[in-house]
Structure 1
Amino acid sequence: MSSIKLLSFPLLVFSEIVRSMEIIEILELSQVSRRMLNFMNLARISVEPIHILNGSVDKIMVFNKSNTKRVFLIEFLKTPQPVVGQMKVNNVCIDVWSVSNHFFSTKETVYYSSKDTAEKVINCNSNQFGYGVVHILTHLDKIFYRMDIALGIELSTLSTMRGILCHSVFKKCGYLQFRGENETLSNEDCEYLLEKTQPTRGITIFSELSPDFNYKKILHFSRLRVPNLGKMPLEDLKALDSEIANLGNHQFKEVDINKFFHHWIEGYNKKLRRLKLDGFKETPDWDILLKDIVYTEWNSNEKGRYYKSKYTHTEETIDCENGRDFRNKNGQLATVVHHSEYLDFLVWQEKFPE
Structure 2
Amino acid sequence: MAISKLFFAYFHKNEKPFKMLCLPLLPLKNVINQMSFESVWRLSKTSRKMYEKIKNVKKSIYKIVIDNRFEYNIIYPRFKTRILRFEKKSDFVSVYNEMGTNKEITASVYLKFSVDFWIELFYKLDKRGPGKLRSSVYKLNHLKKRLKYLNRFDELFSIKHVDLVIDKYKLFGDSISHPLFQKCDYMEIVGNTSYISNNEMNFVLNNFKLKNGLLTNCLIAEDFDVTAMQQIPRLVIFNAQHITVEDLIKMDCETIKLCYHQFKPRHINQLLHHWLSGEMPKLRRFRLNFYCDTTWIGVVLSGIEHSKWDGQRRAKFFRDGIESIDCGNGFDIERNDGLLATFSSLEDSIDFVVWGNISAL
**TM-score, normalised on structure 1?**
0.75
More strand by share: 1
Q: Which residue number corresponds to residue 317 of structure 2? A: 306
Equivalents in 2 of 1:302, 1:343: separation in Å? 22
* Structure 2 residue 264 is matched with structure 1 residue 248: no
* Structure 2 residue 54 is matched with structure 1 residue 40: yes
Deviations along 1:98-143, whole A, 9 cap, x unmatched?
xxxxxxxxxxxxxxxxx9896156655x3x32x6544533332221
Structure 1 position 327, deviation (Å): 1.8
Deviations along 1:54-103, whole A, 9 cap, x unmatched?
22232122124221468xxxxxxxxxxxxxxxxxxxxxxxxxxxxxxxxx
Equivalents in 1 of 2:180, 2:87: separation in Å? 21
Distance verdict in 2 for CA 1:217–1:119, change over 3 Å: same
Percent identity between the two aligned chains: 25
Work out which of the residue numbers 340, 343, 350 in structure 2 matches 1:343.
350
Equivalents in 1 of 2:21, 2:359: separation in Å? 52
Equivalents in 2 of 1:222, 1:273: separation in Å? 10
Q: Which residue number corresponds to residue 236 of structure 1? A: 247
Q: Which residue number corresponds to residue 163 of structure 2? A: 150
Work out which of the residue numbers 263, 273, 276 in structure 1 matches 2:287.
276
Equivalents in 2 of 1:16, 1:31: separation in Å? 19
Work out which of the residue numbers 325, 328, 333 in structure 2 matches 1:317.
325
Structure 1 position 200, deviation (Å): 2.2
The answer to whether the Cα contact below 8 Å between 1:334 and 1:348 also exists between their aligned partners in 2 is yes
Matched residues, number = 301
The answer to whether the Cα contact below 8 Å between 1:307 and 1:353 also exists between their aligned partners in 2 is no
Structure 2 alignment gaps of length 5 or more: 1-13, 72-79, 96-130
Structure 1 position 217, deviation (Å): 2.1
Distance verdict in 2 for CA 1:242–1:119, change over 3 Å: same
* Structure 2 residue 135 is matched with structure 1 residue 119: yes
Equivalents in 2 of 1:120, 1:345: separation in Å? 36
Equivalents in 1 of 2:271, 2:244: separation in Å? 11
Structure 1 position 214, deviation (Å): 1.4
Work out which of the residue numbers 116, 140, 143 in structure 1 matches 2:153.
140
Aligned to 2:35, the other structure's residue is in SS state coil
* Structure 2 residue 67 is matched with structure 1 residue 50: no
Structure 1 position 287, deviation (Å): 3.9
Q: Which residue number corresponds to residue 236 of structure 2? A: 225
2:56 maps to a residue whose letter is: L
Equivalents in 2 of 1:118, 1:11: separation in Å? 32
**TM-score, normalised on structure 2?**
0.73
Equivalents in 1 of 2:354, 2:136: separation in Å? 41
Equivalents in 2 of 1:303, 1:190: separation in Å? 39
Worse-matched range after superposition: 258-267 or 273-282: 273-282
Equivalents in 1 of 2:285, 2:358: separation in Å? 15
2:248 maps to a residue whose letter is: L
Worse-matched range after superposition: 3-12 or 50-59: 3-12
Structure 1 position 281, deviation (Å): 4.3
1:149 maps to a residue whose letter is: V
Structure 1 alignment gaps of length 5 or more: 71-114
Cα RMSD for the two superposed structures: 3.0
* Structure 2 residue 27 is matched with structure 1 residue 19: no
